[in-house]
Structure formats: structure tokens, C-alpha cells
Amino acid sequence: MSPEQVMANLLEKEPELKVKLFEALQADRFFITVTFQKKYRPDDEHDLHHYYIRKNFMVNDVVPSLKNLAANFIAKENTTAELPDKSQWH
């Protein structure tokens, strides 16, 4: 199976991701981040891998976008967490 077919099959399992990636690529103006965990060793809790790609997305908008993402994540996924103090962002 070709890499394109494998990717198409994987995206079929995540329809919302498929739509959002399509919208971002079609807009030709995006900042996409991906974080994943491979678990090379079952006891390793710190094997996160991070990737980002930015196209026609202003550099000055990246950090505000990440702040907004953090606030949204806390509000939806970790409601007991406190928002980071603005002074911690640089």
C-alpha cells in the first residue's frame, strides 16, 4: 500500500482532523502543531514529539494562538486547572 493510501486510511478514522487539515491547506494560511507519543519504552513518560508548520501565518500571531489554545484546552479538557499567569509567557 502506498504512503498516500495509508494516510487516506488513517484520516478516515479521524474525520474531524481530516476536515480541519483540508480547510487549513485550502486556506493556504495556517499554523499547525502536532504532538504525539511513540512510547519507545513503556516506562518513558517523556517521549513526546512536537512538530509545527507555519505558512502565510504571521509570526506575531503564533504565541497569542498558543495562549488561546491553552485556555481552550483548560476550559474543555482540564477544568480544574488554573490558566497560566500571563507573565509566564514570553
Kindly tell me the burial class for residue 65, based on how many C-beta atoms sit within 10 Å of its own C-beta (0-12, 13-18, 19 or more): middle
| Total domain count, the chain | 1
Q: Does the residue 2 lie in any domain?
A: no
Residue 74 lies in a domain: yes
Q: What residues make up the domain containing 69?
A: 58-90
**Structural domain includes residue 34:** no
Q: What would the pLDDT profile of 1-29 be if each residue is shown by its tens digit?
A: 999 999 999 999 999 999 999 999 999 99
Rounded CA gap, 56 and 77, in Å? Answer: 30
Average pLDDT, the chain: 88
Classified as helix, coil or strand, 16 is helix
Look at residue 88 and tell me if it is in a domain.
Answer: yes
In a domain, 27, yes or no: no
17 occurs within a structural domain: no
| Amino acid, single-letter form, for residue 56 | N
Q: Are 65 and 31 in contact (CB under 8 A)?
A: yes
Residue 72: inside a domain? yes
Does residue 87 register a pLDDT over 60?
A: no
Q: Chain-centre distance of CA 1, in angstroms?
A: 27
d(CA 39, CA 47): 6
Which pLDDT value is given to residue 40? 74
